[in-house]
A and B are shown apart, each in its own frame.
Chain A
Amino acid sequence: MEILRAPLRFVFDRAERLLGLVFPPHWNPMLNLGALGFFFYWIITVSGIYIYIFFDTGVTRAYESVAYMTHDQWYAAGIMRSLHRYASDGLIVVMLLHIAREFALDRYRGVRWFSWITGVPVLVMVYVAGITGYWLVWDRLAQYVAIVTTEWLDRLPIFGEPIARNFLSPANLESRFFTLMVFMHIAIPLIALILLWIHLQRVSKPRINPPRGLAIGTLASLLALSLVHPALSQGPADLAKVVGPVGLDWFYLPLYPLLENWPGPVTWGGAGALLLMFCAIPWLPPLRKPPVASVDLPNCNGCMRCFNDCPYNAISMRVRSDGLPFEREAVVEPSLCVSCGICAGACPTATPFRRASELVSGIDLPDMRVAELREEIETRCAFRKGEPRILIFGCDHGVSLRGVDGASVKSISLRCAGQLPPSFIDYVLSKRLADGVVLTGCAENSCHARYGIQWTDARLARERDPMLRARVPRDRIRVLWAGRAGRRGLDALLRQFAHDLSELSSDASPVHTPDTRERPKELVNG
Chain B
Amino acid sequence: MVRMLQYAGQAIVYAAVAAFIGYFASRPLYQQFPDGQAQIKLSFAHGAARTRECRRLTPQEIAKLPPNQRRPNTCDRARVDMHVQLDLDGEVIYDARLPPTGLAGDGPARVYKKFVVPAGPHTLIARLRDTREATGFNYETRRDVELAPGQNLAVDFKADAGGFIFQ
Contact = CB atoms under 8 A, between A and B. Distances in A.
B44 interface: yes
B14 A172 contact: no
Interface stretch (B63-71, B73-81, B105-113): B105-113
Nearest to B107: A160
A387 interface: no
Interface residues of B, number: 42
A3 interface: no
B108 A160 contact: yes
B62 to A, nearest CB: 32
B88 interface: no
A39 B145 CA distance: 54
B6 interface: yes
Given A157-B101, A221-B14, A261-B32, A162 B110 contact: yes
A456 to B, nearest CB: 26
Contacts, number: 129
A85 B18 CA distance: 12
Contacts of B41: 168-169
Contact of B25 (A89, A154, A241): A89
Contact of B22 (A225, A240, A260): A225
Q: Of residues A220, A228, A229, A260, which shows the largest number of chain B Cβ atoms within 10 Å of its Cβ?
A: A229
Interface string A123-167: 000000000000000000000000000010010010011101100
B150 A251 contact: no
B26 A22 contact: no
Nearest to B10: A22
Contacts of A240: 151-152, 167
Contacts of A242: 33, 38-39, 150-152
B90 interface: no
Interface in B114-166: 150-152, 154, 156
B167 to A, nearest CB: 5
Given A86-B25, A240-B151, A164 B43 contact: yes
A91 to B, nearest CB: 10
A497 B45 CA distance: 81
Provide the main secondary structure of the chain B interface: mixed
A239 interface: yes
B27 A164 contact: no
Interface in B7-35: 8-10, 12-15, 17-22, 24-27, 29-33
Interface in A3-26: 19, 21-24
Contacts of A160: 45, 101-102, 107-108, 110
A85 B31 contact: no
Contact of A244 (B10, B18, B33, B156): B33
A12 to B, nearest CB: 16
B21 A89 contact: yes
A248 interface: yes
A273 interface: no
Q: Of residues B5, B12, B33, which shows the largest number of chain A Cβ atoms within 10 Å of its Cβ?
A: B33
B10 A217 contact: yes
Q: Of residues A21, A93, A231, A245, which shows the largest number of chain B Cβ atoms within 10 Å of its Cβ?
A: A245
Nearest to A158: B101
A224 interface: yes
Given A22-B6, A164-B43, A249-B25, A241 B152 contact: yes
Contacts of A218: 14
A161 B25 contact: no
Nearest to A164: B112
Contacts of A168: 41, 43, 154, 156
Interface string A21-60: 1111001010000000000000000000000000000000
Nearest to A148: B32
B9 A154 contact: no
Contact of A169 (B12, B14, B110, B167): B167
A222 interface: yes
B123 to A, nearest CB: 20
20 contacts: A86-B21, A160-B45, A161-B108, A162-B110, A164-B43, A165-B45, A168-B41, A168-B154, A169-B154, A218-B14, A221-B14, A221-B17, A229-B22, A231-B25, A243-B32, A244-B33, A245-B29, A246-B30, A250-B24, A260-B32
Interface of A: 19, 21-24, 27, 29, 85-86, 89-90, 93, 151, 154, 157, 160-162, 164-165, 168-172, 217-218, 220-222, 224-225, 228-229, 231-232, 234, 239-251, 256-257, 260-261
Given A164-B43, A218-B14, 7 more contacts: A22-B5, A22-B10, A22-B13, A164-B112, A245-B31, A248-B26, A250-B24
6 shortest interchain CB distances as A-B pairs = A22-B9, A247-B26, A169-B154, A221-B14, A245-B31, A161-B45
